[in-house]
Structure 1
């Protein structure tokens, strides 16, 4: 009877070894795959996204977030100084010194053509190679792109004027009328070149000022908008009450 006991012991050892072997790892909820999944958006992230798309949008992004925005916000100071200085020189040249555009262009072209002509014919005497005059040609594709973009903007302006004239948007109608009236008044004070120079100067001053004092300006604007809404509501109530009283009187009559 001792032999079966000896043969039974290895079986028990093998069964115990199989039981103690580590089980294959199953994908649990705490695995790396689950952790790698993108987390759900929290309230703070949603608030940040709404702020970036709403009132908290930066001035740089509103202006296009490109080279023109850097120039208007004085982030590229050399370009900003060059644009503002060039506009100032042109304005002073034509308004203060009272020069005219067509004669200046003619004189400049005469000077350039004369210098190139003399250089081309006298290069043997001055021991220099003749000037290389490149062939300048206007390509068709850029010109078509510009014309197409202008056509889209003109059609958009015509559609907007049609909607305003049809009486669909009263607020936009009054805004356009007031804007054109203000532009006509300013046009009586100064000519087009001076108006253009004023616009250039304002574009280099207003965005920087607003970016620096954005909080104070926004709070002040919110107060003005709230007060205007209250006054508009009071005015609408008074007008509506007058119309209702008039209708009641008509019915009684």
Structure 2
């Protein structure tokens, strides 16, 4: 009996060992399968701390498809239309009010003549659709615009408080660069340049994101090094405002 019990115990222990070894080997194999991609993703530097794909960063859906040239015909059509508008208003110096008036004159003249000449050409006049702007989209647009304006005001107030010198200098540098660009071209050309950049930079970045992120990592490392030197020599000597607002009595 004792021998039988010992043999049974030996079989149970062997089974437990085999289960543990199999589970450990399976976990090791899972780690081997998962770790290379996960560790690679965690170690790869992405510009601006990006964790999502470029398509998701742009909001996803059809707008992101247009900016990333998923449908080349639609993207080329939108870019061509914007280019035509820029050429019409900037290069040819055609005015918006003049264009609207000429377009309305042409449309009204065609509809008026067609409606009166329908009895002679035996064709029914074109049906003019009723245009009614719904109230809900206008409210949603106004609400979203209000939120964005409030966020911008909060950001400007934070900068003006004098507590974050790094952000303050970054905003000043950005506004200075924008003023230089604005002195070289008018507002319409600036909007067109931004629009063209939206159609080119995301697409090129998605295509060469590894090379761009590698270069950006080196550039950010050098910028941080230079900023540390500038902070030690200049910014640390500038008196800063109080960290907390004084409580009102």
With the shorter chain as reference, the TM-score category is 0.7 to 0.9
Matches of 1:239 and 1:181 in 2, distance apart?
A: 20
Which residue does 1:176 correspond to in 2?
A: 171
Aligned counterparts, 1:1-253, within 5 A? 44=35, 55-239=50-234
How many pairs were matched up? 204
Matches of 2:193 and 2:132 in 1, distance apart?
A: 35
Matches of 1:118 and 1:182 in 2, distance apart?
A: 54
Cα deviation, residue 168, structure 1: 2.7
Cα deviation, residue 55, structure 1: 4.0
Structure 1 residues 51, 117: CA separation in 2 closer, same or farther (over 3 Å shift)? farther
Matches of 1:128 and 1:236 in 2, distance apart?
A: 79
Q: List alignment gaps of at least 5 residues for structure 1.
A: 1-38, 244-253
Matches of 1:159 and 1:170 in 2, distance apart?
A: 16
Matches of 2:74 and 2:191 in 1, distance apart?
A: 19
Q: List alignment gaps of at least 5 residues for structure 2.
A: 1-26, 239-249
Structure 1 residues 70, 51: CA separation in 2 closer, same or farther (over 3 Å shift)? farther
- Alignment deviations for residues 170-227 of structure 1 (CA, whole Å, 9 cap, x no partner): 2221122111111111111111111111111111111111111111111111111111
Kept in 2: contact 1:51–1:57 (CA 8 A): no
Matches of 2:235 and 2:83 in 1, distance apart?
A: 53
More contact order relative to length (CA 8 Å, sep ≥ 6): 2
Cα deviation, residue 238, structure 1: 4.0
Structure 1 residues 238, 93: CA separation in 2 closer, same or farther (over 3 Å shift)? closer
- Alignment deviations for residues 104-136 of structure 1 (CA, whole Å, 9 cap, x no partner): 110110000111111111211111112211211
Matches of 1:77 and 1:241 in 2, distance apart?
A: 52
Cα deviation, residue 139, structure 1: 1.4
TM-score by length of 1: 0.72
Matches of 1:126 and 1:102 in 2, distance apart?
A: 34
